[in-house]
Amino acid sequence: MSTIESVLGPLETSKLGFTLSHEHIVVSSAGIPQIYPEFIQRDESIAEAIKVLTHAKTEGLDSIIDVTTLDLGRDIHMLEQVSKESGVNIICATGTWRDIPRAFWNAPIGKVADLYKREISTGIEDTNIKAGIIKVANDTGGVTREGEIILRAAARAQKETGVPISTHTWAPDRVGEQQVRIFEDENVDLNKVYIGHSNDTTDIHYLETLLDKGVWIGLDRYPGGRTMGTPNWEQRTETAMKLIADGYGGKIMLGHDWSVTLSIDSKEGQASRSKYNPDGYLFITRQVLPRLKELGASEQDIQNIMVDNPRRFFE
């Protein structure tokens, strides 16, 4: 029997259930939740997160992987409260997103890896809450010098702790390939690597080449289509179905990259986000899965990508 660390303590992987593989509760910047809580309307955000996740649970959601890192404004006490009061399991992350702290730019790789390992083995900040995943990010322009430090630190922390890696990529530029090359150079077991945001492209050859390396891929930007000409949700779902049809249904996971709050939302911003995705964390449940079934996905295919694959990834 395997366990994973959740924000409420160890959780049997068999109890992960229906899992969204890449989400957030609140997205901001390092220090904002603690120093300027009014900027993200912290109390209101917590109340809203509890409300929407409590409802999502009634429609079948069991767990989310919250990949909010320090530089994305991770608030571990918030995650703990939201999980406890909503009943949804939350797995939190160590690691670093795109806003790599300047102090890391010239740091020894091992020193950064030690920070990640501490959050995995000892706990985050002043808590006993332990990270269950390592998050790293590279975007347009590919892997920068400081971005490589973060990737290698994550790789070394992964090998020593066994905790898997989840990446942010820019799929139209095939950035996942650069990440995999570095992980291979660090001798990471690629079965413990998840290449995220992979449905920002419909390039099946790129996606299947990654999968053939042994990684998992996250089709985790839904609804999509709002920025830089990326595919809309129907195109993303067709891509998922092609991968299933080609025999890769056992190595893909779905998510939204959604959050209750993006820093401070104006009323106009809230209205725009609600119009873009009125279903929030339930868009996949309400829109994507029915469409996959129309395209030919079986109930077992759905069970794989939403339940079995997340469990096996963490096991």
Q: Is the pLDDT of residue 309 over 80?
A: yes
CB distance 98 to 17 below 8 Å: no
Number of domains in the chain: 1
Please check whether residue 139 lies inside any domain of the structure.
Answer: no
How wide is the angle at C-alpha 311 spanned by C-alphas 63 and 139, nearest 5°?
75
Please check whether residue 68 lies inside any domain of the structure.
Answer: yes
Please check whether residue 215 lies inside any domain of the structure.
Answer: yes
Quote the domain boundaries for residue 280.
3-133+194-314
Please check whether residue 85 lies inside any domain of the structure.
Answer: yes
Query: Where do we find the tokens 């090359």?
Result: 181
Closest by CA position to 100, among listed 159, 37, 171, 168:
168
Taking only the tens place, the pLDDT of each residue in 100-149 is 999 999 999 999 999 999 999 999 998 999 999 999 999 999 999 999 99
CA dist 126 to 5, 77, 304, Å?
16, 10, 37
Taking only the tens place, the pLDDT of each residue in 2-36 is 999 999 999 999 999 999 999 999 999 999 999 99
Taking only the tens place, the pLDDT of each residue in 236-256 is 999 999 999 999 999 999 999
Please check whether residue 176 lies inside any domain of the structure.
Answer: no
Please check whether residue 58 lies inside any domain of the structure.
Answer: yes
Please check whether residue 145 lies inside any domain of the structure.
Answer: no
Please check whether residue 177 lies inside any domain of the structure.
Answer: no
Six-digit token string for 171: 């799929």
Question: Domain holding 46: CATH number?
Answer: 3.20.20.140
Taking only the tens place, the pLDDT of each residue in 182-216 is 999 999 999 999 999 999 999 999 999 999 999 99
